[in-house]
Amino acid sequence: MNIALFLEMAAQADPDRIGLVCDGKHWSYGELDAAARGACALIRASGASHVALLDESSEAAVIALFGAALAGVPYCPLNYRLADADLAALLGRVAPALIVGDARRVQQLSGDAGHIVYPRSEFTLAALEAVVDEQAECDPGEGVCIQLFTSGTTAAPKAAILAHSNLVSYILGTVEFGSAEESEATLVSVPPYHIAGIAALVSSIYAQRKVVLLPAFAPEDWLKLVEAEKVTNAFVVPTMLGRIIQALDKGVRADIGSLKAIAYGGGKMPLELIHRALDLFPETAFTNAYGLTETSSTIALLGPEEHRAAHRSADPKVRARLASVGIPLPTIELEIRGEDGEVLPAGQPGEIYVRGDQVSGRYKEKSALDAEGWFPTRDAGYLDEDGYLFLAGRADDVIVRGGENISPGEIEDLLLTHPAIADIAAVAVPSLEWGEAVGVAVVVRGGFAQPDADEIRSMVRARLRSSRVPEVVRFFPSLPYNEMGKLLRREVKKLLAA
Amino acid sequence: MKPGSRLKSTVCDSEVVVIRYGSGVLTCGGAPLGDGAGERGEIDPAQAGGTVMGKRYVDAAGTVELLCVKPGKGTLALDGAALQLKEAKPLPASD
């Protein structure tokens, strides 16, 4: 089944209803569906092997996504923030592509590689004006829908592929068709090359919840757009939420009374920040979503009631759940496995494995699924006795000290409770004695004196095992994060080694 | 009947997409679902419960699942037994 059917259904149910707002222009489902059909004709005529996007979010991204789906050509949004050499390599891997966006950069980087390039507005116009053969069959949707390059932190980026069937299964399993009221609008500010940005478009269209695009996130613009479009739902990464709250603290004012629900994910949410947000927006429903590109987005959810219950609870166990990513979706299976592949009981940390129709786990080069169809996420974590999933960093981030596995998360979570510590990262540092030992990079909170390194060590010694005590403690003004709010642990290692 | 196949009723406006299919004869309003070609017939008044846009329909054993992509007046059935509306488990919007 083709994901383009979701847009067709929205258009058939209510062609004149507004489905998308971008740069002040409103697009109805009928207009979007017609434009996607035009784009399909353009894509088919081009003979392109991929449809790539090298641009911020706009109506063109939505039209290209569904046009590519109708044509049966993989849609491949690229990270425009990549350095020239890295982007040039990816452009080579999608050639010949129909590329929407930054024509000048494509010309500079890949010259005559057979790409057909449309600047954003020219693509939208061409899609609207294309002659569509009403008899032409759309692609049955048995193949690849999306190709997303991983960030490639350890090696060359891998091309993760999502089949139509993966996304269809995710949407049908989590969204009820047409379930949104006509007054609902969702603000999407994550970039189009991120799985959350794609999932947000497809889910919202299927729910018939109007999508409001904010192509370049700035907290003041986000607040203004909430007021102007009477936004009811939003998805943010934790960094964005932090910056929105900072802006409010600085006195930026906007009427955001329409905002009923905020979902977040894509990186670790600092506990203090979510407590603050729950206090600041007492009527807002918060949802934490955990997922990966390879799993078609969300696989576990911490819902609004669970947020409020944890926030006001005095029971440490219930309160701790605010740091979890909630309960796995009922439509997938999830297990924690040890190093020898054995399934671990509640409370024991290991690697998170998932299985289900929405899980792709495939790359263009090879499949990462095991013989039984389980996908090793490379995320470390554990389930508590009630089934709540707690993340403990990437499996590759585990510090191996003299054969003992140490998860950075437990050290970081403990030290973040120190009043003078605003942010912290624990990483492996080389140790002659142990092979690896724990090193921590600490950011001191404004207004507090820098704590003594030995004070930090004794806090760890008192609460965790002695192997967790950091050998190296150093202080920095801030820690390195990427634009999605993910801590760059490789960079932290470099900082501590310098 | 592969997943993704689109089937049309010959007695009402209903159209469905196959999500899952095992075996058996699928009907709508008493007449077989197919590619929409052939003669239009009359709806069986005993099988005129209607289909609802965007709803999923399943048999009791869970071997067949259909998604309504165009509503109509007929009742969907597998080998004469009416399909049931698949209950949705509401989840908060997460993206």
Q: Looking at this predicted complex, what is its ipTM? A: 0.94
Residue A334 belongs to a domain: no
Chain B CA closest to residue A189:
B95
What was the pLDDT predicted at B75?
A: 98
Supply the DSSP string of A385-447, one letter for each residue: TTS-EEEEEEGGG-EEETTEEE-HHHHHHHHTTSTTEEEEEEEEEEETTTEEEEEEEEEEPTT
Strand partners, B84: B58
Q: Is the peptide bond before A96 cis (omega within 30 degrees of 0)?
A: yes
CA A219 to chain centre: 18
Residue A367 belongs to a domain: no
Chain B contact set for A165 (CB, 8 A): 3
Residue A344 belongs to a domain: no
Q: In whole angstroms, what is the distance from residue A94 CA to residue A429 CA?
A: 38
Q: Which two tokens stand for residue B51?
A: 């289909």
Chain A contact set for B56 (CB, 8 A): 172
- Give the residue from A177, A198, A288, A332 with the most B CB atoms within 10 Å of its CB, the best one to mutate: A177
Measured in degrees and rounded to the nearest 5, phi and psi for residue A202 equal: -70, -45
Q: Do A261 and B69 touch (CB under 8 A)?
A: no
* pLDDT tens by residue, B13-39: 999 999 999 999 999 999 999 998 878
Q: Which amino acid is at A102?
A: D
**A248, A258, A251, A262: which is closest to A227 by C-alpha?**
A258
Q: Do A287 and B89 touch (CB under 8 A)?
A: no
Q: Quick check: helix, strand or coil at residue A202? A: helix
Are A37 and A135 a contacting pair, CB within 8 Å? no
What was the pLDDT predicted at B3?
A: 87
Chain B contact set for A236 (CB, 8 A): none
pLDDT mean over B37-44: 90
- Among A277, A307, A337, give the residue marking a domain's end: A307
Q: Which two tokens stand for residue B42?
A: 């009359």
Measured in degrees and rounded to the nearest 5, phi and psi for residue A401 equal: -105, 110
Q: Do B95 and A196 touch (CB under 8 A)?
A: yes
CA distances from A78 to A87, A110, A489 (A): 8, 14, 23
Q: In whole angstroms, what is the distance from residue A139 CA to residue A141 CA?
A: 5
Q: Do A174 and B94 touch (CB under 8 A)?
A: yes
What was the pLDDT predicted at A473?
A: 97
A479 is in which domain, residue-wise?
398-497
Distance linking the first and last C-alpha atoms of chain A: 53
Neighbours of A283 (CB within 10 A): 7
Q: Which two tokens stand for residue B17?
A: 């997409």
DSSP state of A258: T
Chain A CA closest to residue B54:
A177
What was the pLDDT predicted at B90?
A: 76
- Domain with A412 in it: what CATH number? 3.30.300.30
Q: Do B93 and A5 touch (CB under 8 A)?
A: no
A135 and A276 share one domain: yes
CA A316 to chain centre: 29
What was the pLDDT predicted at A153?
A: 56
CA distances from A408 to A136, A176, A393, A422, A442 (A): 55, 39, 7, 16, 13
Chain A contact set for B17 (CB, 8 A): 1, 5
pLDDT mean over B63-91: 94
The tally of domains found in chain A comes to: 2
Q: Which amino acid is at A484?
A: M
CA distances from A244 to A190, A249, A254 (A): 14, 9, 11
Are A198 and A267 a contacting pair, CB within 8 Å? no
Chain B CA closest to residue A232:
B93
Residues 6 or more apart from A218 whose CB is under 8 A from it?
A: none
Q: In whole angstroms, what is the distance from residue A358 CA to residue A167 CA?
A: 6
Of B54, B70, B95, the CB nearest to A177: B54
- Among A254, A289, A307, give the residue marking a domain's end: A307
A303 and A447 share one domain: no
Strand partners, A302: A288
Measured in degrees and rounded to the nearest 5, phi and psi for residue A435 equal: 85, -65
Q: In whole angstroms, what is the distance from residue A373 CA to residue A357 CA?
A: 10
Strands A375-383, A185-188: pairing is: unpaired
- Domain with A67 in it: what CATH number? 3.40.50.12780
A441 and A294 share one domain: no
Strand partners, A292: A297
Are A148 and A362 a contacting pair, CB within 8 Å? no
What was the pLDDT predicted at A152?
A: 64
- The per-residue pLDDT string of chain A (498 residues; one tens digit each, 9 = 90 and over) reads 999 999 999 999 999 999 999 999 999 999 999 999 999 999 999 999 999 999 999 999 999 999 999 999 999 999 998 889 999 999 999 999 999 999 999 999 987 789 999 999 999 999 999 999 888 888 999 999 999 998 765 567 899 999 999 999 999 999 999 999 999 999 999 999 999 999 999 999 999 999 999 999 999 999 999 999 999 999 999 989 999 999 999 999 999 999 999 999 988 888 889 999 999 999 999 999 999 999 999 999 999 999 999 999 999 889 999 999 999 999 999 999 998 899 999 999 899 999 999 999 999 989 999 999 999 999 999 999 999 999 987 888 888 898 788 888 889 989 999 999 999 999 999 988 888 999 999 999 999 999 999 999 999 999 998 999 999 999 999 999 887 777 888 899 999 988
Largest CA distance in chain A: 75
A105 and A215 share one domain: yes
Chain B contact set for A287 (CB, 8 A): 92-94
DSSP state of A50: E
Of B70, B88, B95, the CB nearest to A200: B95
Of B56, B88, B92, the CB nearest to A261: B92
CA distance B44 to chain A (A): 26
Of A204, A265, A301, the CB nearest to B91: A301
Of A2, A12, A263, the CB nearest to B94: A263
Q: Do A301 and B3 touch (CB under 8 A)?
A: no
